[in-house]
Amino acid sequence: MLPESTRRNFLGTMGRFGGIAVAALITGFDPAGRTWVADHAQRSSAIRIPKLKGRLIFDQADRSAAADDFGHIVHHLPQAVLQPGDIEDVAVMLRFCRAHRIPAAPRGQAHATNGQAQVTDGLVIETATLDAIDVGQGEVTVGAGARWSSVLRATLPTGQTPPVLTDYLELSVGGTLSVGGIGGQTQHFGAQVDNVVELEVVTGVGERMVCSPSRHPDLYHAALAGLGQCAVIVRATLPLQPAPVNVRHYILSYSSFDAMAADQRRVLADGRFSFLEGEAQAMPDGSPGWQFFIEAGAYFDGTAPDDQALIGDLAYQRGSEQIDTIGYFDFLDRLAPAVAFLESSGEWFDPHPWWNVFVPSSAADDFVTSVMAGLTEPDIGASGVILIYPLRHAVLRTPLLRIPGEETVFLFSILRTAAPDTGAISADAMISANRKLFDQASRLGGFQYPIGTIPFTQADWRAHYGREWPFFAAARRRYDPRGILTPGQGIFTSDEAERMPL
């Protein structure tokens, strides 16, 4: 029997590619015809594919998988998929792509919802094989493809933890650092992009570069929350801090957003909780309206914290509180059972037109209350989730993570699931609603957190980045002058970078 790697490459070349039946291993690229070929030596215009430690894959199954994401809405089919054997493979292939104007995009766990990591007729770089983790004292160096759950499992035996984790731990490090990375600890430490010691990236010209706040700072700030427009993050060094053993976990119920938000602002200001978020859920008895919940955690090692001291002065609905103690990792990984259920029911694979916006605190009460009054369960889907929690502007320092300028901002997320068998409205209707809600939020000073499904034009992106646009555009021209990187975001045209002044 053939080895698996040989078998897969052989099967891939036996498939159909670009409408042409391929009977031998792909060995080259023909720039004249913009096709990958199996007989490069017999074509004067063809160029041999560079030698790689990993694999360049052309079979239909892998290409189709790379043309999907968690949104299950957008499907852009690439010509090839790279599974790099090391970082140098990424550099080699990006040099090749740059020379031949082949668009390329990195893909971590594909948890985007609108084709952000997809590319038509180009190369998708699967970073999952770049998953090495090296734990030190006070910091950890990780490959971009490592999942945050794996990072935690590596650091916790040493008594250390990253300061900020996303709610869902099965996201890649490179993926969240390309966007932002928000979680319940963000109130204290900022986003994940605000907690990066150093990056190694590969630029759009295929150059490997190490950057930090003091070393190529323009590239560092263009890569963090830069949506893959200037470079592919391949490795990151992250700070660590002492890890707690346990979490005192609180879920507090409120009848209105105003009441919940008042307590959220209070505990945000005094910092009494280690972890702070908020959520809205449909009424359990099926009646119209929504319940609101603060979810909070107090981290500790020895004696549990005093419940009365932490929640006694809050205005939650007495008798509805849920309080328990849970281990630190189990707390951070608390979504795993729900995800397993959604996978088993099939809803995990339904369309997910998500909406995520940062709203200024001064407008939050009226805006959120108005939006929630107009929402019904079919508008978000039976497994849809609504998150609403406060953040401090002072700790959110990354330039390309765009947030309102007020001292306190709210992340308002409507994580829709368009599951037709549950009575939800269609994905198209959800996307249309997303745009209308964004326009309302934008007029109030809100900014998109760009992981969701809000249709954006290039004019929208310019408005989104505002005063940061000249910096971002200059970095794009400097580090990806041919504009090959991550076209699925729709921020720049393919040739716009070449026309932008430095």
pLDDT (tens digit per residue) in 10-21: 333 333 333 333
In contact, 34 and 65? CB cutoff 8 Å:
no
CA atoms lying within 13 Å on the CB side of residue 204: 28
The list of the chain residues with pLDDT below 50 reads 1-23, 497-502
Q: Provide the 8-state DSSP code for 305.
A: P
Q: What is the pLDDT of residue 3?
A: 37
Task: Give the span between the Cα atoms of 488 and 105, in whole angstroms.
Answer: 8
Q: What is the pLDDT of residue 419?
A: 87
For residue 139, list its beta bridge partners. Answer: 239
Q: What is the pLDDT of residue 23?
A: 35
Specify whether the backbone of 225 is left (phi greater than 0), alpha (psi in -120 to 50) or beta. left
SS3 of residue 34 by DSSP: coil
Q: What is the pLDDT of residue 5?
A: 39
Q: Name the residue among 30, 118, 29 with its Cα closest to residue 69.
A: 118
Residue 302 structure tokens: 């020895």
Residue 441, phi then psi, degrees to nearest 5 = -65, -40
pTM for this predicted structure? 0.92
Q: Identity (one letter) of the amino acid at 237?
A: T
pLDDT (tens digit per residue) in 295-353: 999 999 999 999 999 999 999 999 999 999 999 999 999 999 999 999 999 999 999 99
The 3 state secondary structure assigned to 123-186 is EEEEHHHCCCEEECCCEEEEECCCEHHHHHHHHHHHCEECCCCCCCCCCEHHHHHCCCCCCCCH
Q: Provide the 8-state DSSP code for 485.
A: B
User: In angstroms, how far apart are the furthest CA atoms of the chain?
Assistant: 79
